[in-house]
Structure 1
Amino acid sequence: MKRSLSVIAFVVVLIAGSGAWYIHGKQPVRDGEIALPKLQAPVTVRYDERGVPHIKAENQDDLYRTLGYVHAQDRLFQMEILRRLARGELAEVLGPKLVNTDKLFRSLRIREHADAYVARQDKNTPAWKALQAYLDGVNQFQATHPKPIEFDVLGIEKRPFTAEDTLSIGGYLAYSFAAAFRTEPLLTYVRDQLGADYLKTLDLDWQPQGALHPSPALTSKDWKGLGDLALLSQQALEDAGLPQFEGSNAWAVSGSRTQSGKPLLAGDPHIRFSVPAVWYEAQLSAPGFELYGHFQALNPFALLGHNMDFGWSLTMFQNDDVDLIAEKVNPDNPNQVWYQGAWADMTSRIDQIKVKGQSPISFTLRQSPHGPIVNDVLTASGIQEHADTPVAMWWSFLESENPILQGFYEANRADTLDKMRSAAEKIHSPGLNVVYANAHGDIGWWAAAQLPRRPEGVNPAFILDGSTDQADKNGFYPFSANPQEENPARGYIVSANFQPVSPLGIEIPGYYNLAERGRQLDKQLSDNSVKWNLDNSQALQLGTRTDYAEQILKPLLPVLRRVVSDPEEHDLLERLAAWKGDYPVDSVGATLFNQFLFNLCDQTFRDELGDALFSTLISTRVIDMALPRLAADEHSPWWNNRNSNEPESRDHTVKVAWHAAVSHLKSLYGLNPEEWTWGKAHTLTHEHPLGRQPPLDMLFNVGPFAAPGTHEVPNNLSASITTAPWPVTYGPSTRRLIDFADPAHALGINPVGQSGVLFDKHYADQAQAYVTGQYRPERFSEGDVAGNSREVLRLVPPR
């Protein structure tokens, strides 16, 4: 027995030791000296207490090569999975469930566009050389180190990263802005199948002259295909567990309105949460160049950044840069469509998707003169069917020159208004608001995008008729037509995804957010009695109140008081009526309102739209705009349930929704309403791409944490409109505050941690601080960096 126990103990120790050795071999190396080929001189990388690298090089080529190396050792799997998503290669490593996601991204033509874009670039510009040096650093790390754990789990083989991968990820980011795939089929269905009275609630003009072909334009098969496309366009991003841009806050305050007398810059881009976090922080230092930047996977140029002289943040412009176009097919030739007065050929080619554990799947990619066909039916069986009515996609990302890499290379060096304006003009797609401040006292904002010239009267919120001139484009407006401001007299600028105004008065269609968040920020920033500093700016960024709930409840509370008779439920109702629209973690009113909101949507919209389009509706910004109007209109046809034999009123539907909400919360959290707190129901879990599969979720995911905030408050920790509990899906991807009286002591926070390497000490070391609203210093000065360095890595040329 003793011998057997000794053998067992030896085996356990051996397994434990092997596991520890395996994990240790995957960890980042942040201390010591490493030879890195192609370096011209030694480079020092000092890591601070959060694992942020502070890179000091003697030239910019070495600087970017080192950035690529250290970025890869912390985020190599993120780089790999993002390029696979963008280029339609996920099924090769994640299996058959991702085939339709790959089909979608192949249909978007991001791969071909990125390849062609790279082929025509001038390879001798400083920006292109910086990209190549960065990618060389990434590839040198990959070639000389063990594969990440995720590579082993999924069987991913190493292959070099390329400029085509970088540009493909840029296409994915542009796509993640595009709401057209969800919104346009939905609105067109309401217009053409339900009619003007229903569309009125969605606040869009009904245009019968804008309907599609005189004969039934879209068949039931087409509507199903479009519904599947709408769901897939959302689920593809969710299923991959990868970042998706959703909204943002940014503001700049001039020195006349700050306590320090210098401009103050604040920014918090709202992006889908993930592990690792979307941003990788690094300080870059070389002769003639200093920047503390926030970088995305495979991009050497910071999308957010600052130094002692200037800084900038981004929000989503959310202009409509995608049109869906229903084609008229030649009845005598299914490969032709009517285009500008004549039958024109569609082109097609066979593409092939590799699938893990299965044979490759071949499918057909079709394209009309208007653009790629995107609605060929995606079936669960993988057998492709062509839609009865091909729907093409026109996308400015595929049509504009878009020198976006050059734009951000210049933005990283833009120490004047003129330089940043010039950089913003080079960002064509995706649409971005660039909010800027500098130490000289300037503040500015530019809506960066190329805005297409559409025919007068065309509403691109609907699917357009390809047999008419609706889908024609007459180039793009000049940058001077874009919304923009420089040093406004009021002394501040706010950007919060609301509808902007062009200085030339042109219409700018888009899928903008509610104005409430922007109004909340503007109301406080406009208070002349306040002098802004880092402390009160933190409170502004962390605000959790909105008047949106009040807009919905004001017309419905009298209804509820008429229809709720149970004394216990009446007490709950009065508790809701007394709620001020604030979302701290201990709020009960927030929980009650959000459950009631979902049940109200469910009882009102599902019967007319069906399950697929209802799911699409509550994933779009259309629902945010519609609910206050619906609540105020007792005669809206949406109140009537089409599946009922008797007509139904607002009173009846509100009563059913209320009872359903109370019943659900009792079943979930018990009979005592004091237990129905917002933090119990509203939680944040940072999800890794592998964390969607139990039991890997317990290993790779971070959380859950009780989360304050909600949809469209400054602290925009948002969950879908659904039934409780509410997992937070997106929110501030960082919170940054920079006072240009002392930019070396800027504040920021990472939602999870710097590292994407499982078991690393910086994998999740900021998660608790983030959700509780804490900030951390973004160290910049030599003394601060030196005094807080925890590890020092030297990269040297080979001897």
Structure 2
Amino acid sequence: MKRLLLSALLLLVALLGLAAYYLADKQPLRDGRLRMPGLQATVEVRYDERGVPHIRAQNDADLYRALGFVHAQDRLFQMEMLRRLANGELAEVFGAALLDTDRLFRTLRLRQHARQYVARSDQQSPAFLALQAYLEGVNHYQASRPAPLEFDLLGLEPRPFSAEDSLAIAGYMAYSFAAALRSEPLLTHIRDQLGAAYLAPFMENTASSAALPLTEGDWHDLQQLASLSLNSLAQSGLPQFEGSNAWAIAGTHTASGKPLLAGDPHIRFAAPAVWYEAHLSSPGLELYGHFQALNPHALLGFNQRFAWSITMFQNDDLDLIAERRNPDNPLQVWHAGRWVDLQVEQETILVKDAAPHRLTLYRSPNGPLINAALPNPQGDTPLAMWWAFLESDNPLLDAFYQLNRADSLPRAEAAAALIGAPGLNLVWASADGDIAWWAAAHLPRRPAGVDPAFILDASRGEARKDGFLPFSANPQEVNPPRGYVLSANQAPQDVAVPGYYNLADRAAQLDRQLRQPGVRWDLQNSQALQLDSASGYPQRVLASLLDTLRATASADEQALVEELARWDGSHTLDSRAAVLFNQLLYQLTREILHDELGDAFFDNLLQTRVIDSALPRLLADPLSPWWDRRDTASRETPPEIIVRAWRASLAHLDAQLGPRSDWQWGQAHRLSHPHPLGVKAPLSWLFNVGPFPAPGGHETPNNLSHKLGPAPWPVVYGPSTRRLIDLADSHTALGINPLGQTGVRFDRHYRDQASDYLEGRYQPMHSSPQAIRQHSRGLLLLEPAAP
């Protein structure tokens, strides 16, 4: 027995030793020397205490090769997953569960568009040469170093990354901004199936085109399309772009006398986090940047001369179009006064442990037919998708290459003018004293009277486009007299641009603080502004409810009602009012809207921005037909529905959260960082991070947002980084990552910033030579390959 036990112990020790050796071999190299082909001179890479590389090279080509190498060693699996998502290749790895997602992305034609983009690009331009050098660095890492743990678990065979992959991922980013696939089927259903009175809460102007001649099968397909567009990204465990905050304050309103820039893009949480930080230095470039997978040009950045951040513009740059099919030839549609042939292509999607899936794609003159994205289409109407990303000259590589070097107001504006899709708000500031905001997008000219919030009718000419507006017509501000520019996904004020904008409450909450007289903004009080967890939205909603609740609440419920009445809208961890309000908001929405919409459209509604603006208008209108429930013979009144929602809210919270004295926002509102392999145990325990109690909430400045639904509320998206840069001395810049710099499991930087992020702490973003040397924790020298 002793010998058996000893043998078992020795075997266990040996296995643990092998596992430790195996995992150690997968870890990033942050010290030592490596030979790298293509380099002209040695590149120095210093790593700081957060694992951020500070790369110093003697020329730009070497700089970008080194960036590709270090980016790949921290994020290679993320690169692989984003490539597969954009190209519609996830089912090859994960099986039939991801087939719907692949079908959607093949239908979007991202990889075909990327191939055409690369073919027509000037491949000797500085932006493209930088991309090629960067990809050489990525591919050298993949070819010369051990594959990530995830590759081994999935049995992935490494294959080189290409410029087409980089551009396809840019298409995925643009698609994740586009709300039309989620909102247009819903709004068209309300208009055509329920009527103008039902549409009124959702649209300030309900005048619109005549109803579409759609069949029951067509409406089924539209429901499925809206659901697919919502679920495709969530199921992949990859980040999705949602919204953002950014502002720039002129030196007349700052303590330092120079502009101050703040930014926190809002993106779906995932492991690893979306941004990769790197500091680049060469004779031609000095930049501390935040990078995305397979892109060598920073989307966020700063140096001593300038800084910028981005938010979503949320302009409507995607139209769904109902085509008229030729009854005598199903491969023709009516266009420009005649029948025209559809373009037809065949695709094959490889599926793990199953037969390949054959997919037929069609394209009309208005764009790809998205019916092919549906697993079982039942309708007869071809639905085309016109999308500015596919239909306009959109030199994103050149735009961000130039923006990375935009050290003057004219150069920044010229870079912004190149951005076509996705629509971005570019907030920029310089040490020279300038601040600016540009709505960067190619805005289509649509026919007069056409409302792109609905599905358009091609047979009535609604789908026609007469080119794009000039950039000078876009909303923008340069050095405004009030002393700051602010973008929080709100609708532009002076120029009407169709879009799917967020509530104005978040922008209003920030604006109230920024316009306070006498305040001198610095890095400290700016932190409080970014971390503000309050919103004026609850008070707007509760104004229509409190009288009814006070009149009908029982004695033991009166204290809860008065707590809501006194509440300032702050979603702090200990707030009980935040718990009660968010549950009541959902319950009201369900009681009022579900019976008319049904399960599919109701669930889609909960995940769109239109519900946020509709609810206050609906609650303030006691005559709206939405109040009457279709499943009862009597006609309900608003007080009856409000009381019903209140009682149901309390019952649900009692069941979910226990004693009312224990109801706290941090108990019910929690943040997790899901990994693509973390869908099920035991890999969820290995790769996912969280859950953690989370402050903030939907449409607060600290926008740790959740889906409108019943408690508890998993946080879906939020600030993907927080950055503060004072242009008096950008070496003092502060930032934070929601999780960590690397995506390599068991590395010390996999999750080392998660607690600081949730607790509102910031870390220095080192950019001075002295600070880099002082905080250096490793020195990696990349040297030219031996001759």
- TM (normalized to structure 2)? 0.99
Q: Which residue of 1 aligns with 2:253?
A: 257
1:782 aligns with 2:765: no
Match of 1:531 among 513, 520, 531: 520
Cα deviation, residue 662, structure 1: 0.3
1:422 aligns with 2:414: yes
Match of 2:479 among 478, 481, 487: 487
- Tell me which amino acid in the other structure corresponds to 2:520: K
- Partners of 2:374 and 2:507 lie apart in 1 by 39
Contact 2:444 / 2:466 at 8 angstroms: preserved in 1? Answer: yes
Contact 1:263 / 1:437 at 8 angstroms: preserved in 2? Answer: yes
* 1:33-52 deviations in Å (ceiling 9; x for gaps): 00001110001100000000
Contact 2:580 / 2:649 at 8 angstroms: preserved in 1? Answer: yes
Uncovered stretches (5+) of structure 2, i.e. residues with no partner: none
Match of 2:358 among 357, 362, 366: 362
- Partners of 2:152 and 2:379 lie apart in 1 by 40
Contact 1:225 / 1:376 at 8 angstroms: preserved in 2? Answer: no
Contact 1:312 / 1:437 at 8 angstroms: preserved in 2? Answer: yes
- Partners of 1:757 and 1:645 lie apart in 2 by 60
* 1:582-615 deviations in Å (ceiling 9; x for gaps): 1110000000000111111111111111111001
- Partners of 2:293 and 2:57 lie apart in 1 by 21
**Using a 3 Å threshold, how does the CA distance of structure 1 residues 420 and 361 change in structure 2: closer, same or farther?**
same
Q: Which residue of 2 aligns with 1:439?
A: 431
Match of 1:243 among 239, 243, 246: 239
1:758 aligns with 2:750: no
* 1:164-215 deviations in Å (ceiling 9; x for gaps): 0000000000000000001000000000000011000112433354422xxx
Residue aligned with 1:375, SS: helix
Contact 1:499 / 1:513 at 8 angstroms: preserved in 2? Answer: yes
Match of 2:653 among 665, 673, 686: 665
- Tell me which amino acid in the other structure corresponds to 1:399: E
1:396 aligns with 2:388: yes
Cα deviation, residue 501, structure 1: 4.1
Q: Which residue of 2 aligns with 1:182?
A: 182
Q: Which residue of 2 aligns with 1:743?
A: 730
- 1:184-223 matches, cutoff 5 A: 184-207=184-207, 209-212=209-212, 217-223=213-219
- Partners of 2:746 and 2:183 lie apart in 1 by 41
Q: Does 113-122 or 648-657 show the bigger shift?
A: 648-657
Cα deviation, residue 385, structure 1: 4.0
Q: Which residue of 2 aligns with 1:587?
A: 575
Contact 1:377 / 1:386 at 8 angstroms: preserved in 2? Answer: no
Q: Which residue of 2 aligns with 1:773?
A: 760
- Partners of 1:522 and 1:777 lie apart in 2 by 26
Cα deviation, residue 644, structure 1: 1.6
- 1:444-455 matches, cutoff 5 A: 444-455=436-447
Q: Which residue of 2 aligns with 1:516?
A: 505
Q: Does 509-518 or 196-205 show the bigger shift?
A: 196-205
Contact 1:749 / 1:776 at 8 angstroms: preserved in 2? Answer: yes
Cα deviation, residue 377, structure 1: 6.8
* 1:560-600 deviations in Å (ceiling 9; x for gaps): 22333x32223322222222211110000000000111111
Contact 2:107 / 2:373 at 8 angstroms: preserved in 1? Answer: no
1:268 aligns with 2:282: no
- Partners of 1:244 and 1:163 lie apart in 2 by 22
- TM (normalized to structure 1)? 0.97
- Partners of 1:318 and 1:375 lie apart in 2 by 24
Cα deviation, residue 434, structure 1: 0.7
Q: Which residue of 1 aligns with 2:8?
A: 8
* 1:605-651 deviations in Å (ceiling 9; x for gaps): 11111111001101000000001011111111111111222221111
- Partners of 1:652 and 1:224 lie apart in 2 by 32
Q: Which residue of 2 aligns with 1:612?
A: 600
- Tell me which amino acid in the other structure corresponds to 2:768: S
Q: Which residue of 2 aligns with 1:793?
A: 780
- Tell me which amino acid in the other structure corresponds to 2:5: L
- Partners of 1:210 and 1:789 lie apart in 2 by 65
Q: Which residue of 2 aligns with 1:643?
A: 631
1:626 aligns with 2:614: yes
1:300 aligns with 2:307: no
Residue aligned with 1:690, SS: coil
Q: Which residue of 2 aligns with 1:684?
A: 671
Cα deviation, residue 2, structure 1: 1.5
Q: Which residue of 1 aligns with 2:588?
A: 600
Residue aligned with 1:691, SS: coil
Contact 2:312 / 2:424 at 8 angstroms: preserved in 1? Answer: yes
Contact 1:183 / 1:620 at 8 angstroms: preserved in 2? Answer: yes
- Partners of 1:722 and 1:620 lie apart in 2 by 12
- Partners of 2:624 and 2:460 lie apart in 1 by 33
Tell me the C-alpha RMSD between the 2 structures: 1.1
Contact 2:221 / 2:378 at 8 angstroms: preserved in 1? Answer: no
Flag as ranges the 4+ runs of structure 1 deviating above 4 A: none
User: How many matched pairs?
Assistant: 786
Cα deviation, residue 60, structure 1: 0.6
- Partners of 1:80 and 1:601 lie apart in 2 by 40
1:559 aligns with 2:566: no
Contact 1:88 / 1:103 at 8 angstroms: preserved in 2? Answer: yes
Contact 2:217 / 2:378 at 8 angstroms: preserved in 1? Answer: no
Q: Which residue of 1 aligns with 2:51?
A: 51
* 1:735-762 deviations in Å (ceiling 9; x for gaps): 0001111111100000000000000000
- Tell me which amino acid in the other structure corresponds to 1:621: R
Residue aligned with 2:678, SS: helix
Q: Which residue of 1 aligns with 2:404?
A: 412
- Partners of 1:377 and 1:728 lie apart in 2 by 28
- Tell me which amino acid in the other structure corresponds to 1:435: V
Q: Which residue of 2 aligns with 1:80?
A: 80
Contact 2:248 / 2:428 at 8 angstroms: preserved in 1? Answer: yes
- Partners of 2:151 and 2:41 lie apart in 1 by 32
Residue aligned with 2:132, SS: helix
- Partners of 2:124 and 2:493 lie apart in 1 by 38
- 1:319-358 matches, cutoff 5 A: 319-358=315-354
- Partners of 2:371 and 2:635 lie apart in 1 by 36
* 1:302-336 deviations in Å (ceiling 9; x for gaps): 00000011110000000000000001112222222
* 1:241-289 deviations in Å (ceiling 9; x for gaps): 1111111010001111111101100000011111111100000000131
- Partners of 2:233 and 2:560 lie apart in 1 by 38
* 1:14-57 deviations in Å (ceiling 9; x for gaps): 11111111111111111000000111000110000000000001
Contact 1:114 / 1:168 at 8 angstroms: preserved in 2? Answer: yes
- Partners of 1:563 and 1:12 lie apart in 2 by 66
- 1:674-713 matches, cutoff 5 A: 674-713=661-700
Match of 1:288 among 284, 288, 292: 284
1:118 aligns with 2:118: yes
% identity of equivalent residues = 58
- Tell me which amino acid in the other structure corresponds to 1:498: Q
**Using a 3 Å threshold, how does the CA distance of structure 1 residues 356 and 404 change in structure 2: closer, same or farther?**
same
Contact 1:257 / 1:528 at 8 angstroms: preserved in 2? Answer: no
- Tell me which amino acid in the other structure corresponds to 1:581: G
Contact 2:335 / 2:459 at 8 angstroms: preserved in 1? Answer: yes
Residue aligned with 2:597, SS: helix
- Partners of 2:650 and 2:183 lie apart in 1 by 31
1:496 aligns with 2:488: yes
* 1:656-707 deviations in Å (ceiling 9; x for gaps): 111111001111121x222110001001111111112222111111111111
Contact 1:424 / 1:434 at 8 angstroms: preserved in 2? Answer: yes
Residue aligned with 2:151, SS: helix
Q: Does 704-713 or 555-564 show the bigger shift?
A: 555-564
